[in-house]
Amino acid sequence: MSERGISMRPVVLLVDDDPKLLMGLRRALRGEPFDVRLAVGAYEALSHMKAWGGVDVLITDQHMPGMTGTALLAAVRERYPDTARFMLTGSPSLAVAVDAINSGSIHRFFVKPCDPRELAAAARAALHDRMIAAAARVSSGPMLLVDVSRGLIAHGNEAAEQLFGLGAAALQERALADLIDGDPGESAREAREFLALPPPASRRWRMLGRERAPIEAEVSLHPFAAGSAATACIAIRNIGEVSRLEAEVTQLQRAEILGELVGGVAHDLGNLLMVINGRSELLAASHGDVDAVKRTAEVIHATAKRGSSLTRQLLAYLHGSPAADAIVDLNAVMTGAADLLEKIVGRHIAIELDLDPGAGQVRGDVTQIEQIAMNLGLNARDAMPDGGTLRLRTWSVDGSPGEPIPPGRYVALQVSDTGVGMPPEVCRRAFEPFYTTKGPGKGTGLGLPTVARIADLHGGHIGLDSEPGRGTTFTVYLPKI
């Protein structure tokens, strides 16, 4: 069945060979929360359904010329298995009804004359069941069906009941805003604006879980066909635990990088100390040659400054940035990353910087953005065991970046290498958590997922271009301010 979207009402199709009966039933069902459409005979019904992509509920007579109701229902079951199927007949046959129900061709059986209110109630119940079934296909986690116009919850699955510590009855007819932590007026505005968005859409909310304990949640609004015009399907993910694990992974990765960085810095500091010691000995042995003393003192001073700079870099990476939301200069980030990577990647890898002075700035967490450059840089190093070139580049993008991402104003951050490259099957899985091709003990499989997650949190996108033997290029697009 083709999706009609949440902006369209469900469709109930009445099928009979008596046009007057059909018109009477449609009048009786006026005012119900679904569109009632008519078909004179089974063949006309199948033609309409083909043109419409199916219907939500089919109600058909049994005795019709050309094709019986049971034959029509069997055909609909085969072509449109999600359609709720009712039989309405004036000549009831117990054997026909039992056979049709046992075969799965029909869900309900009604005998003429039938109270239209009973028929309407059955159609509403079938539509409700279809909404729940469709929502279950959207998410196996906590999920809510919400009346968009009123902002009230129509249904919550078992996982939602467990997340919020509320039974089915307590969830139903509760305002979505009641589950959002904060000022009631602000929560109501947040819920109203979110429900008005075109799906798919997502937000991060602080919600009230079991016993009203605050939880960090990601809520996603999904396209939802099996419901009325006013029904939205919202999937909920408790990201409090996910955020904690992400933070731990980031710290582990930083510690791993730091370990390699300390080795490189220690080597450089050793060289600097040799210079300082040697020049100090020369200074001590000088016999009044003022110019020689001055030159030696200048060398010692410059060498000590270089040592101080190395120490500051190390401490800056160790402690990170105290600002979680700041204006970030990506050129400065890439320059700093290049300095750090020089201490780690080894002399067999050349590092090139190609920075656009007009690239612009972004807003975000400078420590996380530094993590992007470092993770991608270390990935590039691992791809070039025999040496090569690691290139760090920035530029400004206005319009379409040429990737499957929305047009806009971005600053692009690119890390490329001349390494072994990756085949398509590896590229497809590159951002999967714990997926790695580095071999046992050589990779966690969390570096690239972390990069993708940081880009997503900053409203950005990441692209990957790689071929075996031709190197790999990662490009991260972050919204420009």
Segment 422-435, tens digit of pLDDT: 999 888 888 876 67
- Arithmetic mean of pLDDT, 165-188: 91
Structure-model confidence comparison of residues 172 and 315, the more confident one: 172
Residue 3 has pLDDT above 60, yes or no: no
- Arithmetic mean of pLDDT, 222-249: 65
Residue 276 has pLDDT above 80, yes or no: no
Residue 171 has pLDDT above 80, yes or no: yes
Work out the number of other CB atoms within 10 angstroms of the CB of residue 167.
Answer: 10
Topology given in CATH for the domain delimited by 241-319: Helix Hairpins (1.10.287)
The pLDDT value given to residue 306? 61
pLDDT-derived band at 228 (thresholds 50, 70, 90) equals: very low
> CA of 368: how far to CAs of 247, 254, 353, 455, in Å?
10, 10, 20, 9
Domain boundaries 11-133, CATH class: alpha beta
Residue 353 has pLDDT above 60, yes or no: yes
Tokens of 235: 């999937």
Residue 37 has pLDDT above 80, yes or no: yes
Q: List phi, psi (to 5°) of 100.
A: -65, -40
CA angle 335, 336, 337 (to 5 degrees): 90
Structure-model confidence comparison of residues 198 and 116, the more confident one: 116
The pLDDT value given to residue 320? 47
Residue 323 has pLDDT above 90, yes or no: no
- Domain boundaries in the chain? 11-133, 139-238, 241-319, 321-481
Most confident of 162-166, 451-455, 457-461: 162-166
Q: Is 149 exposed, middle or buried (0-12, 13-18, 19+ CB in 10 A)?
A: exposed
Q: Taking a C-beta distance cutoff of 8 angstroms, is the pair 148, 195 a contact?
A: yes
Contacts (Cβ under 8 Å, ≥6 apart) of 203: 190, 194, 218, 219
The pLDDT value given to residue 321? 45
Q: Is 395 exposed, middle or buried (0-12, 13-18, 19+ CB in 10 A)?
A: middle
End-to-end CA distance of the chain: 44
Q: What percent of the chain has pLDDT over 90?
A: 26
- Arithmetic mean of pLDDT, 58-87: 89
pLDDT-derived band at 311 (thresholds 50, 70, 90) equals: low
Residue 459 has pLDDT above 50, yes or no: yes
pLDDT-derived band at 247 (thresholds 50, 70, 90) equals: low
Average pLDDT of the chain is 79
238: region left, alpha or beta (phi > 0 left; psi from -120 to 50 alpha)? beta
In this structure, of 118-132, 296-310, 351-365, the range with the lowest mean pLDDT score is 296-310
Sign, CA dihedral 15-18-24-28, equals negative
The pLDDT value given to residue 138? 58
Domain boundaries 139-238, CATH class: alpha beta
List strands edge to edge, sheet with 214-222: 152-156, 143-147, 231-238, 214-222, 201-208
pLDDT tens by residue, 6-28: 335 788 999 999 999 999 999 99
Name the CATH superfamily for 321-481: Histidine kinase-like ATPase, C-terminal domain (3.30.565.10)
Residue 456 has pLDDT above 70, yes or no: yes
Q: What is the pTM of this model?
A: 0.41
Structure-model confidence comparison of residues 464 and 367, the more confident one: 464
pLDDT-derived band at 139 (thresholds 50, 70, 90) equals: low
pLDDT-derived band at 401 (thresholds 50, 70, 90) equals: low
d(CA 314, CA 440): 29
Q: Of 32, 91, 26, 31, whose CA–CA distance to 59 is shortest?
A: 26
